[in-house]
């Protein structure tokens, strides 16, 4: 029982690696993130614009020599994987400089390095036991579940922001219609009142 508990703790620790964040990107601005990597280290980048404008952003990745490894313009979401050929600081930048008014919200998931072994002796030459195989299977399933939850959270946030924006537009439109209706009604009342005043004036003149 203790071994199973240890496996669950180790499994949880393996799942929480990497950097995952959501940040604001104002119009006409650029934000960069830096990561110091060893030669041969593999890294993966996933990003998605979850709010603002047309849900697009410019993104580029450079190595320590400032060589461009990845560059895309006006992307809503994308993924990028690369193995570091040089030791040093790698830069990931997001630009909203093409936008004049739209404020963006961007989600970034940066994963570097290999996953730590789930078990201390996983790299041995002998076959895995049934319990170890089951733990590996559970580990892979939980990774899929974690990725699915992240995707659903992003979709929920994006849909909620769109709904709030639509609700705001509908509210403004309703207020505008109410004002127009009030002005038209007042104008009709004043116009009818002027007709009666003209009629009284004509009658008085005839008398």
- C-alpha to C-alpha distance for 77 and 106, rounded to whole angstroms: 9
Q: Judge whether 23 lies within some domain.
A: yes
Judge whether 197 lies within some domain: no
Q: Enumerate the H helices of 70-126 as residue ranges.
A: none
Q: Give me the CATH number covering residue 61.
A: 2.60.120.680
Structural domain containing residue 44: 2-132
Residue 149: inside a domain: no
Residue 169 lies in a domain: no
Q: Which residues pair with 45 in a beta bridge?
A: 80, 110
Q: How far apart are CA 42 and CA 81, in angstroms?
A: 7
- For residue 147, tell me if it sits in a domain: no
Tens of pLDDT, residue by residue, the chain (207 residues): 333 333 333 333 333 446 788 889 998 899 999 999 988 888 989 898 888 888 889 999 999 999 999 999 999 888 899 999 999 999 999 999 988 888 888 989 888 876 665 655 555 555 667 776 777 778 778 877 877 777 777 777 777 777 887 888 888 899 988 999 999 888 888 887 777 776 666 655 555
In the chain, how many domains are there? 1
pTM of the model: 0.61
């Amino acid at each position: 029982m203790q071994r199973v508990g240890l496996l669950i703790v180790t499994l949880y620790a393996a799942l929480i690696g990497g950097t995952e964040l959501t940040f604001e990107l104002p119009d006409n601005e650029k934000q960069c993130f830096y990561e110091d990597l060893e030669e041969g280290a593999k890294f993966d980048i996933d990003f998605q614009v979850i709010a603002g404008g047309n849900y697009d952003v410019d993104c580029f990745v450079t190595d320590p020599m400032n060589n461009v490894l990845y560059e895309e313009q006006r992307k809503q979401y994308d993924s990028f994987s690369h193995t570091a050929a040089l030791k040093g600081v790698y830069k990931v930048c997001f630009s909203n400089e093409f936008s004049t008014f739209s404020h963006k919200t961007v989600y970034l998931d940066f994963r570097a390095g290999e996953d730590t072994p789930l078990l201390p002796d996983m790299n041995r030459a002998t076959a895995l036991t049934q319990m170890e195989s089951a733990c590996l299977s559970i580990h892979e399933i939980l990774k899929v579940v974690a990725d699915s939850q992240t995707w659903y959270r992003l979709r929920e946030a994006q849909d909620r922001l769109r709904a709030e924006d639509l609700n705001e537009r509908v509210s403004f439109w309703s207020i505008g219609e109410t004002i127009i209706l009030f002005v038209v009604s007042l104008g009709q009342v004043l116009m009818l009142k002027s007709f009666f005043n003209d009629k009284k004036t004509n009658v008085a003149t005839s008398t």
